[in-house]
Amino acid sequence: MAIKLTRREFIKLSGLGTVLATLNWDKVVKKALAAAQSGEINVVWFEAQDCAGNTTALIQATEPDLIEVLAGTSHVVGPGTVKLPFHETVMPEWGEGALKILRDVVEGKYDPFVLVLEGSFPIDEKAGGPEGSSLFCYIGDENGKPVSCLEWLRRLLPRAAAVVAVGNCASYGGVVANNVIASDYFKKLGFNLFEEWAKKGFSRSPTGGIGFFPDPIRGHKGVVDILEEAKPFRDFIYKKCTPSGPGDPNCRPAIAVPGCPANGNGQLRTLANLILWVKGLLPLPELDEYWRPKFIFGPTVHEQCPRAAWYAAGNFRKYPGEPTAKCLYAVGCKGPISNCPWNKVGWVNGVGGPTRTGGVCIGCTMPGFTDAYEPFYEKLPYVEISKEGLKKALTVGGLATLAAGVLAGVWAYARGKLEGEAGEGGSE
């Protein structure tokens, strides 16, 4: 069938053919493929010694929610940006199929990726633990030997564009790193676990577990201090360098999003910020002294508490379950020395949060948790109005580096005590 062309159409087609014929198609195709691939950021979610509580919280996120992010419908990170090739709890693959993906990540087949850590990392044999310690946390085996969680981290860190530690365990060691007293049972084994591990920088716990970041309250190191593969992240958190951009081999960002568990919105907002940084669209978030994003963890729980008016009036609960809206400070709330916004904005869709629902803040977003905040229902010490006095008193209680937040409570306590003596409330 003949096709009739006008003179104008013939000239346009001829010109287009000439243009197309002069193009270097190999280069054009490669450039197009690179452009398509550059918009895709992988998230590799690695769980170590954890309870998957942060994953559960992540699924509860609402602004944005996880489905929006993964389906590419979120306006925050853009369509088709985020892929989640590895997440032990939610991925459809299992066994060797899942391990193959993890090995592919190590080999660079999923670059660029942001590494998300959930759970603490116990000592293994390579790090100086006794025979069998690699069994404390391992995923898969090679040549009949377990591959410890710490070993996987050694392999993953060199390729990770950034690290996000979600939850208190991954951030600072959490409950898993709580101190225990060396028992006769361990002494009979001929290895004084707790003291030996402490010398190496691990926690005095049954597994020596630590988080990615150091815990300055309990005095143990983080993974970032112990592994040589973590040096680019170590230099970042100790402010020895500033990343020139994603992929900088000498300086890479690491951020903590602590909590027990970490709030889902906090997790996704931090991840979104890092993903947009990798894409060159946003700067890195400003971090506080414990490597948390200030836009989330800047103010204290107390500063944002819905019970703050009762606190200011010196009107405190007399016992934990008292059915009133009074301040929880006198029954153990650690809000004045803890940082997090979830009591103000709610846990899910504006609903929930410890002090909003009648529970005390237990300091779960802080290093030192839980050791330094127990008993949970024992009130913070009241001391003289001076930073020196606060530090001295709190050192006795194990909270020396968290002292400044208690200053706000002194006036409220004094006022409440006076009113209590007058029969109008009080904190005693």
pLDDT at 19 over 70: no
Q: Where are the domains of the chain?
A: 39-297, 302-421
Beta bridge partners of 336: none
Q: Which residues contact 246 (CB under 8 A, 6 or more apart)?
A: 112, 161, 162, 277, 278, 280
Q: What is the pLDDT of residue 185?
A: 56
Fold of 302-421: Cytochrome-c3 Hydrogenase; Chain A, domain 2 (4.10.480)
Average pLDDT over residues 306-320: 89
Beta strands in 245-403 (DSSP E): 254-257
- 244/419 Cα distance (integer angstroms): 57
Q: Which CATH architecture best describes the domain 39-297? A: 3-Layer(aba) Sandwich (3.40)
* Distance between CA atoms of residues 247 and 153, nearest Å: 18
Residue 222 CB burial class (10 angstroms; 0-12, 13-18, ≥19): buried
Q: Quickly tell me which residue has 């013939």 as its tokens.
A: 10
| pLDDT value at residue 5 | 56
Handedness of CA 35, 40, 41, 42 (dihedral sign): negative
Predicted pLDDT at 400: 39
Q: In the prediction, which pLDDT does 296 show?
A: 94
pLDDT digits (tens, 9 = 90+) for 340-368: 998 888 888 888 888 888 899 999 999 99
- pTM, to two decimals: 0.78
pLDDT higher than threshold 60 for residue 402: no
State which H helix or E strand residue 84 sits in. Answer: strand 82-87
Specify the pLDDT at position 238.
Answer: 96
Q: Tokens in use for 294?
A: 């200030």
